[in-house]
């Protein structure tokens, strides 16, 4: 239920293996760039100096990006995005600054998305280094783990563990886990 406010960076990423690393008979044709035939899109919203919220989305279209942003970001926030047209609708509602990655622009004054890009880097390196492969079905759980890690980065491991215990059921059965 946490609402982001202030300066909020928005970005999306695609989670899934690289085509070049697949066996010849497992390669997916025409899967470069923004194609999500073999990848799953994830929307990230990060309040500078604060928390990050991520949602696994069906696509990176205006239709699928607008609703989660409106539910998560207060109307008083100032948005920082890249040039992707999926943010055009929210750009009419919020104050929005854009960096044009397509033209090699990554910083323009206080407009940048480097913080959320850094979060994506940690997420993807964590998936590769810890889990090696994740399924689409459970991707939201993996993403939530890394969101929890990021949002609790300033507290000790003991406090983080206690927070985790306070927010879980005391009795979790195997049937609950596989639902």
pLDDT score of 115: 95
Asked if residue 1 belongs to a domain, the reply is no
What gap in Å lies between CA 142 and CA 154, rounded to an integer? 20
Residue 65 included in any domain? yes
pLDDT at 25: 76
Residue 1 is predicted with a pLDDT of 67
Tens digit of pLDDT per residue, the chain (179 long)? Answer: 679 999 999 999 988 877 667 777 777 776 665 666 678 999 999 999 999 999 999 999 999 999 999 999 999 999 999 999 999 999 999 999 999 888 888 898 899 999 999 999 999 999 888 888 788 899 999 999 999 999 999 999 999 989 888 877 667 778 877 87
* Dihedral of alpha carbons 20, 24, 26, 31, sign: positive
Residue 74 belongs to a domain:
yes
Q: Does residue 19 lie in a domain region?
A: yes
- Residue 31: predicted pLDDT: 65
Domain count, the chain: 1
Residue 96 pairs in a beta bridge with 79
Tell me the CATH number at 69.
3.30.420.10
pLDDT at position 166, please?
84
- Per the domain annotation, does 24 fall within a domain? yes
pLDDT at 57: 95
> Is residue 2 situated within a structural domain?
no
Where in the sequence is the domain holding 41, given as residue range(s)?
Answer: 7-178
**Inside any domain, residue 12:** yes
């Amino acid at each position: 239920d946490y609402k982001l406010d202030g300066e909020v960076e928005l970005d999306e990423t695609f989670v899934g293996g690289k085509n070049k690393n697949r066996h010849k008979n497992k390669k997916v044709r025409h899967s470069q760039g923004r194609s999500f035939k073999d990848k799953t899109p994830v929307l990230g919203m990060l309040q500078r100096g604060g928390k990050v919220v991520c949602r696994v989305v069906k696509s990176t279209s205006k239709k699928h990006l607008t609703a989660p942003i409106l539910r998560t970001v207060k109307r008083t926030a100032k948005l920082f995005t890249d040039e992707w047209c999926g943010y055009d609708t929210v750009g009419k509602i919020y104050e929005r600054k854009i960096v044009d990655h397509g033209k090699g622009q990554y910083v323009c004054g206080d407009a940048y998305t480097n913080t959320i890009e850094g979060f994506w880097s940690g997420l993807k390196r964590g998936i590769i280094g810890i889990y090696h492969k994740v399924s689409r079905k459970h991707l939201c759980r993996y993403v939530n783990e890394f969101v929890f890690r990021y949002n609790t980065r300033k507290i000790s491991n003991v406090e983080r563990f206690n927070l985790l215990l306070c927010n879980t059921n005391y009795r979790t059965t195997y049937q609950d886990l596989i639902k």
